[in-house]
Amino acid sequence: MPVLPDLLILDAARPAAVQGESSPERMAERVPQCVLAPWLAGLPVPGRDLLALLPVLDVNARAFAALRALPQDAGQNAIAALFCADPFLRVRDAVQILRAAGISRVTNFPTIQIIDGAAAHGFESAGLGMRREAEILGEFVRAGFAVTGFAGSAESGALLARQGVGALVLHPGPAMADWRVRTVRHLTDLPVRLMVPDGYGTELDGAMALADGALRYG
C-alpha cells in the first residue's frame, strides 16, 4: 500500500496560497486536503475528541453554518467532518449544503466509537451507535460523495468498507496497538491512516509504522 500524505484536522478552510492563481487544478495542488471541522473552534483543546460528543454544542449545526459561509471554492479540497450518529442529521439536507459549498468528501468525525462499555451498548440499542454511523456514511457514498471512515476497531473498519467508504482512519480511542492495524489489513484492502489525538506520543510508533499515513490536529 503506498504511503499517503498526512491529513490535518482544521477548524477553518485554508485559503489559496497564491494570489492570482486561476487554474482550479493548480489551486488544488497548492491547498492540501484537510478534514474541515469548524466546531473545533467552540471546544477547549483538552479532551476535544470526547467533548464533541457531549451536548455542549451542536457539532453539525456549526459545521453547516460555516460551510454556508465559505467563499467559493474554499472547500474544494476539504473533507467535511460530520457527527453521523446525530439523530437529527438528515443526509438529503446535508448533501444540499455540501454541494453548495463545493465539497464532495465527508467523514464521520467526531465518532461515537470512542465511547465504550455500557454507554456504547446503550447508544447502539437506541440506534445511535456505530451501525448508524455506518449507515449514514453509506448514504453519502450512494449520493456520490467520497467518504473517509473513522473506525475504532478492525471490525468497524470492515463494516465501513462494506458500506463503500474509500479510505479508513483508525482512531485509537483509549489505546492503540499495532495488532489493530494488522487485523484491519486482513479484513479490507482500503488505505489506512492512523489518527494521532492530543496527548499521544511514542506509544503509537508501532501502529504508525504499519499505517499508510497519519491524521493529526492542525
The tens digit of pLDDT for each residue in 180-195 reads: 788 888 899 999 999 9
Q: Give the span between the Cα atoms of 142 and 106, in whole angstroms.
A: 12
pLDDT value, residue 206? 87
pLDDT value, residue 1? 62
Average pLDDT over residues 41-67: 87
Q: Give the span between the Cα atoms of 67 and 188, in whole angstroms.
A: 32
Q: Give the span between the Cα atoms of 113 and 127, in whole angstroms.
A: 13
pTM of the prediction? 0.84
Range of the domain at 147: 7-217
Q: Give the span between the Cα atoms of 51 and 110, in whole angstroms.
A: 9
Helices (H) and strands (E) in the chain, counts: 9, 8
Q: Give the span between the Cα atoms of 65 and 78, in whole angstroms.
A: 16
pLDDT value, residue 61? 95
The domain total for the chain is 1
pLDDT value, residue 163? 96
- The answer to whether 36 and 75 have CB atoms below 8 angstroms apart is yes
Whether 144 maps to a domain, the answer reads: yes
pLDDT digit string, tens, across residues 87-123: 999 999 999 999 999 999 999 999 988 876 676 667 6
Whether 2 maps to a domain, the answer reads: no
Whether 1 maps to a domain, the answer reads: no
Q: What is the CATH number of the domain that holds 199?
A: 3.20.20.70
